[in-house]
Amino acid sequence: MTGSDPTHEDEESGRRAADRAVAVGWAWLALCACGGLALEVALGLKLGWLLDDEGVRTMARLAHAHGVGLALVVLAFGATAAPRLGARTAATSMMLIAGAVLVPIGFALGAIGHGEVDPGPGVWLVPPGALLVIGALVRTSIAAIGYARRNRNL
């Protein structure tokens, strides 16, 4: 990707990855925002399953916050990075989307069967999800720096 000009195929691949990221990003943002609305309703109606259980409350908040935040990251990737980054965009896009989905789902599942000390076993989805997100961000950063250098903007 760096060192040579992107081919037409790379650009096409980048465009497809960008479309996918934007579509998934909006859908995921909508879903996670709905999750946030559900939390607010539960708080407003003082529902016991949320208010009485510190573990559930923490996990639900983390799931909602990470879901919304990572959906915005996926959208930003689709809008700004994917069209420009060429050959490895597809893999990076898949990593980012997988991570953005796994992290909040891991937190949400962590609310199920949690103990006093630790979340439920579902929370083990969070570390691989986080690694995928971070890997994707590193790859994107490197590619973006290369892109800027190629265009003599850096």
Binding site for another protein (CB under 8 A): 54, 91, 115-118, 121, 124
- Taking the complex as a whole, how short is the minimal distance between the CB of residue 131 and another protein, in angstroms? 11
The torsion defined by the Cα of 118, 108, 59 and 124, in degrees rounded to 10, comes to 30
Of 32 and 88, CB closest to another protein: 88
SS3 label, residue 117: coil
Give the residue with the Cβ less far from another protein, 40 or 54.
Answer: 54
Q: What share of the chain is helix, strand, coil (3-state, %, to 5)?
A: 80, 0, 20
CB of 26 to another protein, least distance (A): 26
Nearest to another protein of 49, 124 (CB atom): 124
Question: Are the beta carbons of 19 and 78 closer than 8 angstroms?
Answer: yes
Q: For another protein, which is the closer residue by CB, 35 or 55? A: 55
Instruction: Report the first-to-last Cα separation within the chain, whole angstroms.
Output: 16
User: Is the CB of 12 or the CB of 118 nearer to another protein?
Assistant: 118
Least Å distance between CB 95 and another protein? 10
Contact status, residue 88 vs residue 13, Cβ threshold 8 Å? no
Closest distance of CB 29 from another protein, Å: 27
Min dist. Cβ of residue 55 to another protein (A): 9
Q: Is 87 exposed, middle or buried (0-12, 13-18, 19+ CB in 10 A)?
A: middle
